[in-house]
A and B are shown apart, each in its own frame.
Chain A
């Protein structure tokens, strides 16, 4: 099983700042099988980006991803008020796994 470790656990930032979220895998896998989700309290997760930086429908371009192999990064270029949430990375190969999440909170 591929274990995904996200860091930091919590990121305290102000609107307008840049957010950098890390996702590290226990073994290498193709970035085409990586996805990122956003989840707000009481809501189902929302797909943000998958594969090689393919943004899901309606996701603004302030969200971007980078990395390969075992180290991946989600970047939110300028935080908007609606971006404060929990973010999960996922590898969606034959046996998918999720990271434990990073909470982006208002500083």
Chain B
């Protein structure tokens, strides 16, 4: 069965970077995009970006451009989202999901930014 398993919760200080991983199983990793979506506490969904693991092509929301890096390692079927220069506004649950539109979702990774 399709599974996306994300890395655990992180606590970071303002200005730091965080890297969240998303390990896929149960399907051909290079056949589907990986989406990244975040959700701040009590708020709605916000698209962060996507990566095509087959080509390495990426696109991210304009507000994150220059601050987010999306990568993937096809040898271990894992996608990564790294966000730099964190502020308290980046405190959120970060989800990875498969395909466009996303049909399978990871369990979410809570990133807390606090001094």
Contacts and interface: CB of A to CB of B under 8 A. Distances in A.
Interface of A: 1, 35, 37, 39, 44-47, 50, 56-57, 88, 90, 92, 94-101
Given A35-B101, A47-B102, A98 B107 contact: no
Given A47-B102, A99-B44, A100-B44, 6 more contacts: A45-B95, A47-B101, A47-B103, A96-B50, A98-B37, A98-B46
A56 B37 CA distance: 19
A94 B46 CA distance: 15
A19 B108 CA distance: 29
Contacts of A39: 45
Interface residues of B, number: 20
24 contacts: A1-B62, A35-B101, A37-B45, A39-B45, A44-B97, A44-B105, A44-B106, A44-B107, A45-B37, A45-B45, A45-B95, A45-B102, A46-B105, A88-B44, A90-B45, A90-B47, A90-B101, A92-B100, A95-B62, A96-B100, A97-B47, A98-B44, A99-B44, A100-B44
B101 A88 contact: no
A102 B43 CA distance: 12
A92 B97 CA distance: 13
B79 to A, nearest CB: 16
A45 B108 CA distance: 10
Interface in B87-115: 95, 97, 100-103, 105-108
Contacts of B50: 96
Residue from B35, B46, B47, B108 whose CB has the most chain A CB atoms within 10 Å: B47
Contact of B108 (A1, A44, A50, A92): A44
Tell which of B46, B102, B105 has the most Cβ of chain A within 10 Å: B102
Given A1-B62, A44-B95, A95-B62, A88 B45 contact: yes
